[in-house]
Amino acid sequence: MGGALLRLPPYLSPRTKGKSLKNTKFVVKVNRGGTRAPEYVQRIDRTPIRMTAHRTLALVMGRFTAEDTVKSIQNSRRSPELVPVQV
C-alpha cells in the first residue's frame, strides 16, 4: 500500500464499535392552547389528519414530510412543532 491511509467508515470506527447507529426522525406535536394536552400527528394520508394524545402512537417521519405536515395544519388555533426522535 505504500503509506496510503486506510479510512474506515464511521460505523466501523473504533470509537463507535458496539454502538448502534441512530437516525433522527421527527414527530409533529400540536398544541391547541388552553388546558388541552398536546396531541401528535398519527396519520397524514386522510383528510382531516388523524391526531393522538399518545406519543408512542405518533407517526415518525422524515424532516421534509414533517415540515410539510406542519405547514398543512398550521392555523390560528394550532401551533405545531417538530420534535426530534432518535430511531
| Strand residues in 1-87 grouped as ranges (E) | 24-31, 39-43, 50-52, 79-86
pLDDT band at 32 (very low <50, low <70, confident <90, very high): confident
Distance CA 53, CA 37 (A): 7
Provide, rounded to the nearest whole percent, the portion of the chain with pLDDT above 90.
40
Total structural domains within the chain: 1
pTM here? 0.69
Residue 18 falls within a domain, yes or no? no
Domain span at residue 42 reads: 27-86
- pLDDT, one tens digit per residue, over 41-82 is 999 987 788 999 999 999 999 999 999 999 988 876 788 999
Residue 34 falls within a domain, yes or no? yes
The pLDDT score that the predictor gives to residue 46 is: 78
